[in-house]
Amino acid sequence: MTRRRAFGDGPAVSLFTLGTMRALQSRGQMLSVLHSARDAGINHVETAPAYGPAETFLGQALRQLDQEGSVPAEGHWVITSKLLPGQPLDQARRALDASLERLDRPRLENLAIHGINREEHLHWALIGDGAKLIDWALTSGRVGQVGFTSHGSNALIQQAIHSGRFRFCGLHLHLLDQQRISLAEDALGQRMGVLAISPADKGGRLQAPSNQLVSDCTPFAPLALAYRFLLAAGVSTLTVGAETPSDLSLATALANQDGPLEEQETKVLARLEALRRERLGSEFCGQCRACLPCPNEVPIPELLRLRNLALGHDLQEFAQERYNLIGRAGHWWETVNADACAHCGDCLPRCPNHLPIPDLLDDTHRRLAAAPKRRLWG
């Protein structure tokens, strides 16, 4: 029996979700990965108008699968699409109807407000035109339940979770960045669904890990260990952005592996932490966030986290890619890099480990700036 987990008030979903932002070449490519997703036990697919032709190709592929009578085990396809916040009500209504038309479906099981990254986005969803849109989408039967995704601050995400407006959320949850795990637990405690966004690529390029990280995770593959960590934490479903059927091989192997961590897995996780601390020594940042706020709005913990990973597990390429995306992705990522540190010293007395934070930020900028840029996949 294929494992399913509760997802808010909607249909139960597979442990892995097919993300569609990489299958953008043709309807045939989308059909191929959908076939493999079904074979892997996946019943949940996430897409968005922002993913270019993804909704169109997905709608065409789903239509062909319906004609073939090819459906997921024990049920039907569960589709999540998204809608950007901040739109006027009429425009947002048209955008939702356009998504339904592209998907060739009368109804979405799940609609996510795509990127509640700033206070004004949450305001739109709770008391602005977004609130009217959500009410209209639900009462008209176009949508089964509404959730949100966020790349915003922990405080903003917590506010959204406790607003009572949403029944699921999509968060960046990663083995090597566990700051939002408590938020996921909070959402699960509210009986919300929780989808882990990009646990592979934005979690450290774990689909192509450094030799050091491979050694550190032995005998487990880094990505397999990351998936097991999140599943054991109770996360409802993990996204896999598939370009080819082979990208779903690990999801197939772990399709029913949702039990607690085994003893050896726990030991390797502890070893990972110990090795990272040992290699950073007195310069290890524990991510307590006591250094904030910075008067120049430098995101100190996030930048020192990248330094931790570059030095702790030789994830230099990943750290460089993320660092050089700063200021280039609008509200979807950080906007201020380490070069903005004015060495004012405000953060120094707040750090419980007495780190020389300005010096570490200077070192971070020297190590990570001006590297080749690449679009990270889901």
Percentage of the residues of the chain whose pLDDT score is greater than 90: 93
pLDDT number for residue 75:
81
Structure token digits, residue 110: 């799940």
**pLDDT(312) > 50:** yes
Between the CA of residue 218 and those of 85, 123, 221, 267, 268, what are the distances in Å?
43, 46, 7, 11, 8
**pLDDT(374) > 90:** no
Tokens 């030799």 belong to residue: 211
With beta carbons less than 8 A apart as the criterion, state whether 368 and 320 touch.
yes
pLDDT number for residue 1:
66
Each residue of 139-153: pLDDT tens digit? 999 999 999 999 999
Query: Cα(134)–Cα(111) distance, rounded to whole angstroms?
Result: 9
Query: Cα(323)–Cα(161) distance, rounded to whole angstroms?
Result: 28
pLDDT number for residue 371:
53
Mean model confidence pLDDT for the chain: 95
Tell how far CA 318 is from the center of its chain: 16
- Which of 157, 149, 209, 201 has its CA nearest to residue 177? 201
pLDDT number for residue 154:
94
Contacts of 299 (CB under 8 A, 6+ apart): 334, 336
pLDDT number for residue 305:
97
- Place 232 in a pLDDT band, splitting at 50, 70 and 90: very high
pLDDT number for residue 112:
98
Each residue of 30-64: pLDDT tens digit? 999 999 999 999 999 999 999 999 999 999 999 99
pLDDT number for residue 375:
46
Each residue of 352-369: pLDDT tens digit? 999 999 999 999 999 999
- Mean of the pLDDT values across residues 372-376? 48
**pLDDT(376) > 60:** no
Percentage of the residues of the chain whose pLDDT score is greater than 70: 97
pLDDT number for residue 377:
37
Each residue of 322-338: pLDDT tens digit? 999 999 988 989 999 99
Each residue of 156-214: pLDDT tens digit? 999 999 999 999 999 999 999 999 999 999 999 999 999 999 999 999 999 999 999 99
- Place 74 in a pLDDT band, splitting at 50, 70 and 90: confident
Beta bridge partners of 170: 149, 195
**pLDDT(378) > 60:** no
Q: Residue 230 is inside which H or E element, if any? A: helix 222-232
Between the CA of residue 59 and those of 38, 213, 301, what are the distances in Å?
16, 39, 41
Query: Strand 237-241 relative to strand 193-196: parallel, antiparallel, unpaired?
Result: parallel
